[in-house]
Amino acid sequence: MEKLRKWIQREAVLVTAAVCALVSMFFCPPSAAYLGYIDLRVLCLLFCLMAVVAGLQECGLFLALAQKLLSGRRKFRLITLSLVLLPFFTSMLITNDVALITFVPFAILVLGLVGRTKDLIWVVVLQTAAANLGSMATPVGNPQNLFLYARYQLGAAQFFQVMGPLTLLCFLGLGIGALCVKNETLQVRFEQEHKIQNPRKLGLFLGLFVLCLLSVFRVLPYGLLTGIVALCLLVWDRPLFKAVDYSLLATFVCFFIFAGNLGQLEAVRGFLAGLLEKNTLLTGALASQFISNVPAAVLLAGFTENWKGLLLGTNIGGL
């Protein structure tokens, strides 16, 4: 029972999604229509991206680059700016979660080395904001962007025209926040040098990441991509199968079912459509506070064609 309790606490979003899906089944019994609820393309792309990013992380690419950037004599403002902008830019490609898992421990290490742990909370809060704000800039930066990009059949130009100005505004704000520290010249020297592990494998995963981007932008079929990634993992790195967040994939499936069933209920459909018609951005932002931005995007996408408002609302609300 204790293990079950801890698992429920750890996977609260998945458990909530599963309960919602089960309750909705009482109103819309399981049928062949359920297959139409599930967006297989999104699930396959998420699987591939999570596996490939885990491979890049395993090769030590991000920490090696960050260490090269910060080693030596540096102004403290430059150090904090670098620590904040690292998750901002990398989250655009490797998702906000991975960026934070990688660079928050790195920030703790760096600030400890230069004796500025009193600034740790300020830097980590900015890193958290930076990872969330940076990830909204691209379709692969976070799961709800990937879903909405596929759901509304968006083009790259459409997406970047909406998210580009907001991303630039956030970049300026984060830069100002990162510079609000006492400036002095410090020596950053790492006791252990992070090096890229297995350059050949790094080349493989960089190539696979390019294929993932091609599939996101509908140049490469997602089925072919999934086959290539699965084959490469089987041949060269089977343990990476365990690095995939299957709970996130299961959460998507549950909310696909929940949202699909709600769409069959006239009263619920009318209520949600009415809210979204009044203010899609605000509805998406508020819904994200209660059920997280990914489920909010999946749930609300079935009731509005205002993809701009929903895209902005779930990204701002996710912060």
The answer to whether residue 312 is domain-embedded is yes
Q: What DSSP line would sit under 16-33, residue for residue?
A: HHHHHHHHHHHHS---TT
User: Cα dist. 136→41, 125, 171, 262, 315 in Å?
Assistant: 20, 17, 12, 27, 6
The answer to whether residue 181 is domain-embedded is no
3-state secondary structure of 187: strand
When pLDDT is cut at 50, 70 and 90, the band that residue 9 belongs to is confident
The answer to whether residue 92 is domain-embedded is no
The answer to whether residue 31 is domain-embedded is no
The answer to whether residue 143 is domain-embedded is no
- Pair of tokens at residue 314: 């779930």
pLDDT value of position 233: 93
pLDDT for 186-201, tens place per residue?
777 777 777 777 888 8
Residue 235 is inside which H or E element, if any? Answer: helix 222-236
Number of H helices, E strands in the chain: 17, 2
The answer to whether residue 319 is domain-embedded is yes
Helix%, strand%, coil% for the chain, nearest 5:
80, 5, 20
pLDDT for 246-292, tens place per residue?
988 898 898 888 878 877 777 777 777 787 888 999 988 988 887 77
When pLDDT is cut at 50, 70 and 90, the band that residue 97 belongs to is confident
Provide the residue range defining the domain that includes 316: 247-319
Residue 75 is inside which H or E element, if any? Answer: strand 72-75
Number of Cβ within a 10 Å radius of residue 292? 21
pLDDT value of position 36: 80
User: Cα dist. 59→52, 63, 204, 238, 290 in Å?
Assistant: 11, 9, 11, 15, 36
CA–CA distance, 97 with 91 (Å, rounded to integer): 8
Q: What angle do CA 23, 244, 162 make, to 5 degrees?
A: 75
CA–CA distance, 242 with 236 (Å, rounded to integer): 14
Number of domains the chain is built from: 1
The answer to whether residue 294 is domain-embedded is yes
Q: 74 has which bridge partners?
A: 186
Report whether 225 contacts 215 (CB < 8 A): yes
The answer to whether residue 137 is domain-embedded is no
Phi, psi dihedral angles at 189 (to 5 degrees)? -130, 120
Q: Which of 32-41, 101-110, 168-177, 291-300 tops mean pLDDT?
A: 168-177
Kindly report the three-state secondary structure assignment for every residue of 245-260: CHHHHHHHHHHHHHHH
Q: Is the dihedral of CA 255, 260, 261, 263 positive or negative?
A: positive
**pTM assigned to the model:** 0.79
Between 105 and 130, the more confident residue is 130
